[in-house]
Amino acid sequence: MELTIPSRYCGPPESGNGGWVSGAVARAVPTTPGRPAVSVRLSSPPPLERPLELRSEIEPGDDGPLVTVHLLDRGHVVATATPAPDLEDADPAPVSPDAARAAEERYEGLADHPFPTCFSCGTARTPGDGLCLRPGPLDDGTGRYATTWTPDEADVPLVWAALDCPGGWSAGIAGRPMVLGTMTARIRALPETGEPHVVLAWQRGSQGRRHLSGSALLSSSGEVLARAEATWVAVDPTTIRPRESA
């Protein structure tokens, strides 16, 4: 099988959005009752607009075959996806769409964004072209971030993209550029198109250059539709290509 990442789904201008790419690879991984989530490790920036190989490996597991999927660029590993146990954190307390909209006013990316072209949260994107998420801190003292999302289409990679960047902002990407290293997600149900949803995100600690986050997609009534945990890796700002102003 092959996967070509359209330029629309970029993060930085010349590579794929980590969440969307992870979701595109994850949907090729069958889950099992004991491993209902999928974990994706990104090994290098995903290239755009050229065919990449999806290669599967199968081994026996306790409750069915375990399938590992590698995304390869001319033999070089870009990403690896495996079935994973369910996420450990309890479901988060819900937040109303109105509270999430208020948090969007505090979105740090409006003042300075390391990757304004980002499909998920970039300030250089427009509705219909990108998700245009604006995750900002809630004013409830929890340290959580929130944003609204009203999808005009719904599939697995889009849900992973929506869960992706809010986690980065909650982990402290403002003023400290980071890239997605690993992401583990479980989708319980796809969102309804045309309906407002809330994406929540929160810090889960840090280890040197690695910063941990959790995120969740909720319906407007507070039902948790999907959950994710991610590891972000801080990068040297001098290695980032010059970018367009937001």
Predicted confidence pLDDT, tens digits, the chain (246 residues): 899 999 999 999 999 999 999 999 999 999 999 999 999 999 999 999 999 999 999 988 777 788 999 999 999 999 999 999 999 888 999 999 999 999 999 999 999 898 999 999 999 999 999 999 999 999 999 999 999 999 999 999 999 999 999 999 999 887 777 889 999 999 999 999 999 999 999 999 888 788 899 999 999 999 999 999 999 988 765 554 433 322
pTM listed for this prediction? 0.93
Per the structure block, which two tokens stand in for 89? 């954190």
In the chain, how long is the greatest CA-to-CA distance? Answer: 51
Fold category of 2-84 in CATH: Thiol Ester Dehydrase; Chain A (3.10.129)
Asked whether 30 and 167 are in contact (CB, 8 A), the reply is no
Which residue intervals of the chain bear CATH 3.10.129.10? 2-84, 97-239
Per the structure block, which two tokens stand in for 80? 């690896």
* pLDDT of the residue at 245: 27
Per the structure block, which two tokens stand in for 243? 């970018």
Q: Which CATH superfamily is domain 97-239 in?
A: Hotdog Thioesterase (3.10.129.10)
* pLDDT of the residue at 189: 97
In this structure, are strands 76-84 and 52-59 parallel, antiparallel, or unpaired? unpaired
* pLDDT of the residue at 177: 79
Q: Which helix (H) or strand (E) holds 227?
A: strand 224-234
